[in-house]
């Protein structure tokens, strides 16, 4: 019997981790009865987070496969997804009310999504800046233009 190999997309594992991080499963979204974001949207968000990280502080050439920290990448991707969802909800916001009954809205959570996006974005930016600063520090015992420096571990 022949063995058939299936190629693995490098970002598919990361997209699955991102879905797990956001708890975006069909059984966890009873009102949708589906996932909120498609796999394509997750992969685009990961790419956008990498591109954003590359322009924060000093320019870098990170890719999704060599990004220094998966957790930080997830923060950036979630920020992108939530910002995108906030824009969609703002465009499609509708309010319904019948008589003296409490009004019911559809797609009225754009403010919540923006708030979460900003929170994730702030943490993402801080971590990316820290990663870039620490990557420029000389390695313990290495030569620097100022002579031999020894740094505490």
Q: In this predicted structure, what is the pLDDT of residue 61?
A: 95
In the predicted model, is pLDDT for residue 14 greater than 50? yes
pLDDT, one tens digit per residue, over 120-147 is 999 999 999 999 998 877 666 555 555 5
User: What percent of the chain has a predicted confidence (pLDDT) above 90?
Assistant: 48
Model confidence, pTM: 0.75
Q: What would the mean pLDDT of 98-116 be, rounded to a whole number?
A: 77
In the predicted model, is pLDDT for residue 110 greater than 80? yes
CA 23 to each of CA 16, 125, 144, 145: distance values in angstroms, whole numbers, following the listed order: 10, 23, 46, 48
Q: In this predicted structure, what is the pLDDT of residue 11?
A: 43
Alpha-carbon Rg of the chain, whole angstroms?
21
Q: In this predicted structure, what is the pLDDT of residue 46?
A: 97
pLDDT, one tens digit per residue, over 16-44 is 999 999 988 888 777 777 888 999 999 99
């Amino acid at each position: 019997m022949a063995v058939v190999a299936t190629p693995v997309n490098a970002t598919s594992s990361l997209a699955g981790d991102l879905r797990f991080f956001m708890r975006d499963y069909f059984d966890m979204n009873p009102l949708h009865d589906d996932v909120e974001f498609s796999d394509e949207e997750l992969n685009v968000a990961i790419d956008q987070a990498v591109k954003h990280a590359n322009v924060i502080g000093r320019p870098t050439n990170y890719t999704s496969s060599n990004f220094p920290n998966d957790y930080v990448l997830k923060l950036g991707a979630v920020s992108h997804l939530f910002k995108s969802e906030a824009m969609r909800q703002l465009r499609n916001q509708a309010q319904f009310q019948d008589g003296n009954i409490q009004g019911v809205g559809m797609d009225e959570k754009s403010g919540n999504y923006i708030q979460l996006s900003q929170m994730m974005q702030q943490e993402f930016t801080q971590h990316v800046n820290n990663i870039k600063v620490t990557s420029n520090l000389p390695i313990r015992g290495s030569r620097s233009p100022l002579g031999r420096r020894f740094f505490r571990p």
